[in-house]
């Protein structure tokens, strides 16, 4: 009996069970070359249908078992695979053209990406582990594949900020700069070798928590890399005449035919990502790629005129204007210059309403100044929101108020000392004065009775000034009775109690 990780199921028929790596005993599955995969990955496939693919369960080069699909793009699909003999998880990218043999141009581009990754040696760039070509019977074609470093537990940059907006979690401003410092360092390493990525977007920037760095960056997908000189020897442009890239983030020169493309196209893409994070909206909104590209190519359209961008301070607006300049010569000349400009623009700011919206620290007297430890959280509109209060006003106002507070404190202290010394000497006099000032409350005079109101009079025989019926009722009682019935309450009461009650109610008795 093996461990739980060693038990598997066929991903094609879902019936055969056994040890992982074993060939499925079903005749159809055996002819197609399906192997058993771990149950853990099979459950992931059942929960996420997008991770299902006909290549899951296939073995490449007798060493790599494809267990789950994790991504797809123009240059191929990406799978998680188990590598023999230790079942280490790796990422395998393979290019498949369904029903047709892969063309020479596509294979050359795929090999170009593998060659570029093999030359790049930077901790923030995904590493190439292996490369090969495999004949796949399902497609009846030879399929090239790359074995890459698998970023286990990683999350895409776009998904990271999306989760922040949903859960309202907080990150510091230094963390934001730390993330993009790593992105720009990775691009600087590639640019130094004469390589242009041409597909910088949030989906190609992975964040992973490692010891000592909870936001470790990995730059992915060099499938559209362009060689403009340097260590990689190639003068052939395999994408001439094609607009390659992601419409929302690609530079304008990537759309124009015959325009020279260099490393500043990648810096334009980074500026677009920062615009989206800082403002909480995309700079070129649109549902279709054509609509986005029209705005991008229109010289009259300015993304900084959007309402979210107008709320930005002058320093951030100036930075984004240069980072996203339509003309190549107007942008930052290098990734190092871009990084320094970003730090200068953001560190002198605070966080306010939507997005990482900032305000210059050089405020007026009525504005609030925030310290550098300002925390930000995701807002409802797609950006980040401030959680801190102000720390004070400007220094000039504080310098004028401080001497006045000192003088006022000295005067109060002197008054308290004089009062304490003279308190015992004048205790009796003060007590007498206090007694004299006490005013006794005056007894209110009774209101005068109106002249036309006659008092109610009865005799000792209880002859009350009442209607005849009630008078006769009272007279009918024997004079010597110990008690009688009260006509108001219908209760038996004694005569003396009734006299007291009647006196209280205003009755007068004749002698």
pLDDT tens column, 248-294: 999 999 888 767 899 999 999 999 999 998 888 899 988 888 888 88
**Residue-wise pLDDT tens digits, 463-475:** 444 444 444 444 4
CATH 3.30.200.20 residue spans of the chain: 4-148
CATH 1.10.510.10 residue spans of the chain: 155-349
Collapsing DSSP states into helix, strand and coil, what is residue 386?
strand
CA 433, CA 431: separation in Å to the nearest integer? Answer: 5
Largest CA distance in the chain: 140
Higher pLDDT, 404 or 481: 404
**Would you say 357 and 278 are in contact if contact means Cβ atoms under 8 Å apart?**
yes
User: What pLDDT does 161 receive?
Assistant: 85
**Residue-wise pLDDT tens digits, 374-406:** 344 333 333 433 322 333 334 444 444 556 667
According to DSSP, residue 103 is labeled: P
**Would you say 221 and 244 are in contact if contact means Cβ atoms under 8 Å apart?**
no
With 70 as the cut, is the pLDDT of residue 134 above it?
A: yes
Token pair recorded at residue 286: 């649109």
With 90 as the cut, is the pLDDT of residue 63 above it?
A: yes
Collapsing DSSP states into helix, strand and coil, what is residue 458?
strand
Report the mean per-residue pLDDT for the chain.
Answer: 75
Q: Which residues pair with 493 in a beta bridge?
A: 484
CB within 8 Å of 76: residues ≥ 6 apart: 93, 94, 95, 96, 110, 223
With 70 as the cut, is the pLDDT of residue 20 above it?
A: yes
User: φ and ψ at 131, to 5 degrees?
Assistant: -145, 145
- 199 annotated active-site: yes
CA 506, CA 28: separation in Å to the nearest integer? Answer: 115
Among 42-46, 132-136, 435-439, the range scoring the smallest mean pLDDT is: 435-439
**Would you say 125 and 219 are in contact if contact means Cβ atoms under 8 Å apart?**
yes
CA 503, CA 506: separation in Å to the nearest integer? Answer: 5
User: What pLDDT does 384 receive?
Assistant: 39
17-19 vs 205-210, strand pairing mode: unpaired
CB within 8 Å of 127: residues ≥ 6 apart: 117, 148, 149
Token pair recorded at residue 433: 């004065």
CB within 8 Å of 136: residues ≥ 6 apart: 55, 58, 96, 142, 143
User: φ and ψ at 65, to 5 degrees?
Assistant: -100, 115
Q: What is the CATH number of domain 155-349?
A: 1.10.510.10
Share in percent of the chain as helix, strand, coil (round to 5)? 35, 20, 45
| Residue 357: other Cβ atoms inside 10 A | 25
| Residue 57: other Cβ atoms inside 10 A | 25
Interior angle at CA 48, CA 42 and CA 53, nearest 5? 65
CB within 8 Å of 179: residues ≥ 6 apart: 157, 207, 215, 217
**Would you say 56 and 73 are in contact if contact means Cβ atoms under 8 Å apart?**
no
The correct CATH number of 4-148 out of 3.30.1780.10, 3.30.420.10, 1.20.120.720, 3.30.200.20 is 3.30.200.20
CA 333, CA 266: separation in Å to the nearest integer? Answer: 11
Token pair recorded at residue 81: 């695979």
DSSP-assigned states of every residue in 66-97: EEEEEEEETTEEEEEEEETTTTEEEEEEE---
**Would you say 34 and 21 are in contact if contact means Cβ atoms under 8 Å apart?**
no
**Would you say 11 and 79 are in contact if contact means Cβ atoms under 8 Å apart?**
no
Counts of helices then strands in the chain (DSSP H, E): 14, 21
CB within 8 Å of 199: residues ≥ 6 apart: 221, 223, 224, 244, 245, 246, 249, 250, 269
Q: Which of 185, 199, 221, 266 is catalytic?
A: 199
Token pair recorded at residue 202: 């949030």
Q: What percent of the chain has pLDDT over 90?
A: 38
Among 150-154, 191-195, 226-230, the range scoring the smallest mean pLDDT is: 226-230
Q: What pTM was estimated for this model as a whole?
A: 0.65
């Amino acid at each position: 009996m093996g461990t739980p990780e060693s038990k598997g199921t066929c991903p094609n028929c879902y019936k055969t069970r056994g040890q992982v790596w074993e060939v499925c005993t079903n005749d159809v599955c055996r002819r197609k070359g399906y192997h058993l995969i771990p149950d853990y990955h099979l459950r992931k496939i059942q929960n996420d249908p997008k991770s299902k693919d006909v290549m899951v369960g296939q073995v490449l080069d007798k060493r790599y078992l494809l267990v789950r699909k994790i991504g797809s793009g123009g240059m191929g699909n990406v799978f998680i695979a188990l590598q023999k003999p230790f079942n280490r998880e790796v990422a395998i990218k393979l290019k498949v053209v369904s029903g047709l043999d892969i063309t020479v141009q596509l294979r050359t581009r795929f090999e170009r990406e593998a060659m570029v990754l093999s030359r790049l040696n930077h901790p923030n760039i995904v590493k190439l582990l292996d490369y090969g070509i495999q004949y796949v019977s399902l497609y009846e074609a030879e399929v090239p594949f790359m074995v890459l470093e698998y970023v286990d537990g990683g999350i895409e940059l776009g998904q990271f900020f999306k989760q922040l907006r949903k859960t309202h979690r907080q990150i510091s401003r230094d963390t934001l700069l730390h993330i993009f410092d790593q992105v720009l360092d990775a691009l600087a390493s590639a640019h130094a070798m004469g390589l242009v990525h041409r597909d910088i977007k949030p989906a190609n920037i992975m964040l992973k928590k490692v010891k000592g760095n909870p936001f470790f960056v990995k730059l992915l997908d060099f499938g559209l890399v362009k060689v403009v000189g340097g260590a990689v020897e190639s003068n052939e442009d395999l994408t001439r005449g094609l607009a390659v890239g992601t419409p929302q983030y690609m530079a304008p020169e990537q759309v124009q035919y015959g325009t020279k493309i260099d490393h500043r196209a990648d810096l334009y893409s980074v500026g677009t990502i920062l615009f989206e994070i800082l403002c909480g909206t995309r700079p070129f909104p649109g549902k279709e790629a054509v609509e986005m590209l029209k705005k991008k190519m229109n010289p009259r359209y300015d993304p900084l005129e959007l309402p979210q961008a107008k709320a930005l301070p002058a320093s951030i607006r100036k930075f984004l204007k240069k980072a996203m300049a339509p003309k190549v010569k107007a942008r930052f000349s290098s990734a190092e210059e871009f990084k320094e400009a970003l730090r200068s623009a953001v560190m002198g700011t605070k966080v306010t309403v939507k997005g990482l919206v900032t305000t210059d620290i050089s405020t007026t007297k009525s504005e609030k100044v925030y310290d550098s430890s300002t925390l930000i959280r995701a807002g409802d509109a797609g950006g980040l929101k401030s959680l801190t209060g102000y720390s004070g006003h400007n220094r000039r106002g504080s310098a004028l108020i401080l001497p006045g507070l000192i003088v006022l404190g000295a005067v109060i202290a002197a008054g308290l000392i004089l009062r304490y010394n003279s308190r015992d000497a004048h205790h009796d006099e003060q007590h007498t004065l206090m007694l004299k000032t006490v005013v006794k409350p005056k007894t209110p005079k009774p209101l005068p009775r109106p002249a036309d109101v006659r008092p109610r009079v009865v005799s000792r025989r209880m002859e009350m000034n009442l209607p005849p019926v009630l008078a006769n009722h009272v007279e009918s009682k024997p004079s010597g009775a110990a008690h009688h019935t009260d006509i108001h309450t219908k209760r038996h009461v004694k005569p003396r109690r009734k006299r007291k009650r009647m006196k209280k109610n205003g009755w007068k008795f004749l002698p």
